[in-house]
Amino acid sequence: MRSTHHTLLVAAVACALLLGASSPAWAQNLSQAGNVIPEGFQIDPLKLVNMSAPAPAAKQEAQEAQEEQEEAAGEGQDATTKALDSTATQWSFQLSYQNMPDYRQDTMDNGEVRPIGATDYIQFRLVAPVALKHITILPRVTFRHYENSKGESGIGNTEIFALIIPKALDWGTGRAGVGPLVTVPGNEKVARDEWGYGFAAAVVNSTGRWFYGLLITQSWQSIDPTALPPGGSNTNPLGIAPFLNYRFGSSGWYIGNGDMIALYDWTNKKFYMPIGVRFGKVLVRDYGSWNIYGEYQTSLFYKGYLGPAVKNSYRVNLAFTIPI
């Protein structure tokens, strides 16, 4: 009996040792079998995280590349460029303040000391687009409230301009147009108390991060020619406004030459040209875009021009646009 019990105990111990020796390999085989992944489909958890959340730099570069491809394909302007473009089919509301604390005080060719212009003004501009089948009309109204060096103030000449853009001259990334220009009489202390009429023409284009163009204005004074001084003319100076802007990627920040309007006096055959720099940022939102900028300007060519020549000028601007 004791021999039988001893035999059974030895057998049990032997079985236990066999199971103990074989079970790790068996369990390991099951574990390996359960985690088998076909070759070429191995999954790295870290790579999964990176794929689901791209690095900000890579995402920004991809977005910029897409914008440039769209523009190169002629599919139109992006939201940031539209906010900079006064010829885009969109509602625009602009409020700006310009301060001109000092002017050039040299002696002009006629022997007189160069006159001083307005010291500052507040400007409000509204653009209300009219999109028709074959043309787009962009009526624009500009109000300004001036103050001069004597402390006198009042409403300046209100400008009404309607840029007419045929569909054939709108190629998506830019456009060209022309339209009538009318100026309404202003307060005689700070502006001309007379009507004016004329035209304006514009051409703009955008390529990659660049946005550039040219605006030309010409108007005439609506006055009796006999009331003009000897040798005088009712033709106002030709306005030439080139502009160039460069966007810093998709950040919304940009730099440009600002509101640089050169003047050519037809009577005296003289030229006046300012130079400036503008630094701003466009904030694109679902409901529209904000354009905020600051600008500095001074005179570059003015010696022969018989009129005010600003020495230092500063402007701050807030504009809101709603594309249609």
Give pLDDT tens digits for 158-215: 999 999 999 999 999 999 999 999 999 999 999 999 999 999 999 999 999 999 999 9
Query: At 255, which amino acid appears?
Result: I
Provide the domain limits for residue 115.
56-323
Q: What is the mean pLDDT of the chain?
A: 83
* CATH of residue 286: 2.40.160.40
pTM: 0.75
Rounded to 5 degrees, φ, ψ at 65 are -65, -40
Asked, for residue 213, whether it belongs to a domain, the answer is yes
Q: Rounded CA gap, 149 and 120, in Å?
A: 9
Task: Quote the pLDDT of residue 64.
Answer: 59
Give pLDDT tens digits for 95-144: 999 999 999 999 999 999 999 999 999 999 999 999 999 999 999 999 99
Structural domain count of the chain: 1
H or E segment at 29? helix 2-34
Asked, for residue 270, whether it belongs to a domain, the answer is yes
Give pLDDT tens digits for 70-80: 444 345 899 99
Task: Quote the pLDDT of residue 35.
Answer: 46
Asked, for residue 44, whether it belongs to a domain, the answer is no
Asked, for residue 141, whether it belongs to a domain, the answer is yes
Give pLDDT tens digits for 270-298: 999 999 999 999 999 999 999 999 999 99
Asked, for residue 49, whether it belongs to a domain, the answer is no
Asked, for residue 14, whether it belongs to a domain, the answer is no
Task: Quote the pLDDT of residue 233.
Answer: 83
Asked, for residue 41, whether it belongs to a domain, the answer is no
Asked, for residue 26, whether it belongs to a domain, the answer is no
Rounded to 5 degrees, φ, ψ at 100 are -125, 80
